[in-house]
């Protein structure tokens, strides 16, 4: 769908969308349209339950003498509540309502609203942002879609006095959607299409945006002692991979102490993002139940977010130095597979007793985190992983679990999540939990007791970050959605791309 911005004008074709505030209060564009329609909009509202509340909508066919095909009135709610997230939700509502109605062109009239916190340009940009997020579809393998189920909407024109400013603001948001779209595509692909080598190939496409991409194969990882990661993938016919992506966007030659991203720990290193990329997880020898195992195609969601984030940062030319590291494996049972009870030596030199081969993501991240810390000396590290089912028991599908050894970093992540609508909830770490992964045969075991499974998994990861400020996001409950939401159609969500892009923009870009 192509999105454009233009000055207000009378629309004489396709569909026109106007906003109505709570209490059936017409916005200026809605009032002008109603006059043009001879009062038809107000009459239609009076004959319906539509009151302008948020999430409400009212559709009416244009009366004779008007060349428009359809009018859609969307409920905006209270003017004071029309912040960025609310406007994004309105954009998503519009896209969902008109995507398959047969219209190829839709126009949306946006004007200043008394009491609203945003000027028209920002309102228009965020409405467009939400529309593009919600218009995502993954239909590439559906060969028998009925014509009426195929999207017809090709262009969305937003009409506003702040068209030039809106266009500039949206240009940045549009690049973020590109990153979200890539992540959604990757997690939606089946495991016969996306396996470690194939996902590494997808990451290589970021080179055209200026991202330096390096792929380490098994021979290189073996020399580096990454036996924790390699052990997970040893039962698969697909070779495990470690992908390193570097975006160098901070201006060069900045004097020390000047022009630095605010709020760091004083380190000059990059910020780093590390992702779990288990392209399919059978559980290995500790095999999962067959029911629902098809969902394990998106057990590489953390890696997908890191790749999508790097695309977003590079696409919008973020003034930051960032590193993305993703460990890519396929966890399969075979005669070569890792066994419960095996002991492996990680790249850090610490030994791990593998009691459950289905607790594999932390083994992948252990070596990826240590490699990232040791090679790049980052100022902070954030890892993302569909790590535990326990986090879904704790938080459902509404929030990601957040763990951190740094309060400032944790607070900033939570604030960024609130700002973009990707919510997190911080859970504790502590010595009592750490004792649960103590092993009698090695330095640690890869599972704790039955309780606090997400916490003991995070405690395991913390052993591989040393003193680096670090946060872990367990995104098992938010990577895939079984229902449509305002800006997220059901399926792969891309959760994390917007959150981390906002974190970078707010705190770590050079000013």
Catalytic residues: 288, 362
Output the DSSP codes for 332-396. --STTS--TTEEEE-TTS-EEEES-TT--HHHHHHHHHHHHHHHH--SEEEEEE---THHHHHHT
> What's the length of the chain?
511
Q: How many CB atoms lie within 10 A of CB 255?
A: 7
User: Count of CB atoms within 10 A of residue 60's CB?
Assistant: 17
CB of 459 closer than 8 Å to CB of 434: yes
The C-alpha atoms of residue 275 and residue 244 are separated, in whole angstroms, by 11
Residue from 27, 131, 28, 19 nearest 75 by CA: 19
Tokens of 502: 């906002």
Q: CA 173, CA 316: separation in Å to the nearest integer?
A: 8
The SS3 call for residue 5 is strand
Q: Dihedral angle at the C-alpha atoms of 211, 216, 220, 226, nearest 10 degrees?
A: 110
Residue 465 neighbours by CB under 8 Å, 6+ apart: 369, 373, 381, 405
Closest CA to 212 of 246, 241, 252: 246
> How many CB atoms sit inside 10 A of residue 389's CB?
13
Residue pointed to by tokens 């792929």: 215
* Positive or negative: CA dihedral 433, 435, 440, 444: positive
Radius of gyration of the chain (CA): 25
Q: Please answer whether residues 171 and 121 qualify as being in contact, where contact means their C-beta atoms are separated by less than 8 angstroms.
A: no
Rounded to 10 degrees, what is the CA torsion of 178, 182, 184, 189? 150
Residue with tokens 């068209």: 163
Distance of alpha carbon 53 from alpha carbon 173, whole angstroms = 27
Contact between 178 and 313 under an 8 Å Cβ cutoff? The reply is: no
Distance, in Å, from the CA atom of 508 to the CA atom of 501, rounded to the nearest integer, reads 10
Cβ distance 312 to 184 under 8 Å? no
Residue 248, classed as helix, strand or coil, is strand
Query: For the purposes of burial, counting CB atoms within 10 Å of the CB of 29, is it exposed (0-12), middle (13-18) or buried (19 or more)?
Result: buried
Distances (CA, A) of 370 to 56, 336, 357, 470: 50, 26, 21, 12
Q: Tokens standing for 184?
A: 């959604």
């Amino acid at each position: 769908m192509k999105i454009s911005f233009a000055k207000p004008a009378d629309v004489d074709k396709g569909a026109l969308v106007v906003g109505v505030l709570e209490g059936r209060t017409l916005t200026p564009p809605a009032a002008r349209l109603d006059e043009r329609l001879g009062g038809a909009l107000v009459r239609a509202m009076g004959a319906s339950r539509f009151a302008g509340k948020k999430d409400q909508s009212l559709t009416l066919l244009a009366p004779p003498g008007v060349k428009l095909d359809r009018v859609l009135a969307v409920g905006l709610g209270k003017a004071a509540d029309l912040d960025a997230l609310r406007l994004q939700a309105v954009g998503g509502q519009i896209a969902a309502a008109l995507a398959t109605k047969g219209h190829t062109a839709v126009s949306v009239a946006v004007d200043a609203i008394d009491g609203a916190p945003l000027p028209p340009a920002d309102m228009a940009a965020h409405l467009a942002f939400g529309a593009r997020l919600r218009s995502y579809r993954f239909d590439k393998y559906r060969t028998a879609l009925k014509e009426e189920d195929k999207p017809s909407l090709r262009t969305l024109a937003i009409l506003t006095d702040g068209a030039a400013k809106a266009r500039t603001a949206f240009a940045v948001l549009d690049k973020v959607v590109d990153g979200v779209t890539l992540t959604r595509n990757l997690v939606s692909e089946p495991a016969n299409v996306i396996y470690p080598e194939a996902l590494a190939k997808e990451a290589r496409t970021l080179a055209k945006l200026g991202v330096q991409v390096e792929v380490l194969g098994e021979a290189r990882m073996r020399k580096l002692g990454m036996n924790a990661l390699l052990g997970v993938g040893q039962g698969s016919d697909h070779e495990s991979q470690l992908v390193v992506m570097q975006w160098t966007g901070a201006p060069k030659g900045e004097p020390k102490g000047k022009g630095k991203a605010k709020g760091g720990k004083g380190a000059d290193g990059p910020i780093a993002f590390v992702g779990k990329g288990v392209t399919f997880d059978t559980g290995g020898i500790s095999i999962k139940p067959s029911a629902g195992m098809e969902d394990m195609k998106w057990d590489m969601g953390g890696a997908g977010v890191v790749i999508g984030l790097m695309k977003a940062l590079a696409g919008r030319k973020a003034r930051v130095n960032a590193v993305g590291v993703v460990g890519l494996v396929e966890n399969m049972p075979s005669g070569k597979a890792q066994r419960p009870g095996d002991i492996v030596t990680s790249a850090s030199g610490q030994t791990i007793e593998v009691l459950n081969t289905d607790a594999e993501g932390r083994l992948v991240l252990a070596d990826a985190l240590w490699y990232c810390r040791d090679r790049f000396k980052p100022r902070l590290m954030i890892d993302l992983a569909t790590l535990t089912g326990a986090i879904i028991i704790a938080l459902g599908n509404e929030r990601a679990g957040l763990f951190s050894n740094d309060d400032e970093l944790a607070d900033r992540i939570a604030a960024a999540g609130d700002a973009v609508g990707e919510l997190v909830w911080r859970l504790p770490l502590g010595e009592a939990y750490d004792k649960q992964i103590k092993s009698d045969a090695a330095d640690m075991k890869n599972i704790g007791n039955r309780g606090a499974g997400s916490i003991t998994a995070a405690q395991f990861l913390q052993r591989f970050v040393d003193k680096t400020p670090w946060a872990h996001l367990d995104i098992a409950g938010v990577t895939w959605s079984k229902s449509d939401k305002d800006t997220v159609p059901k399926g792969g969500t891309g959760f994390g791309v917007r959150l981390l892009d906002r974190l970078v923009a707010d705190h770590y870009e050079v000013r």
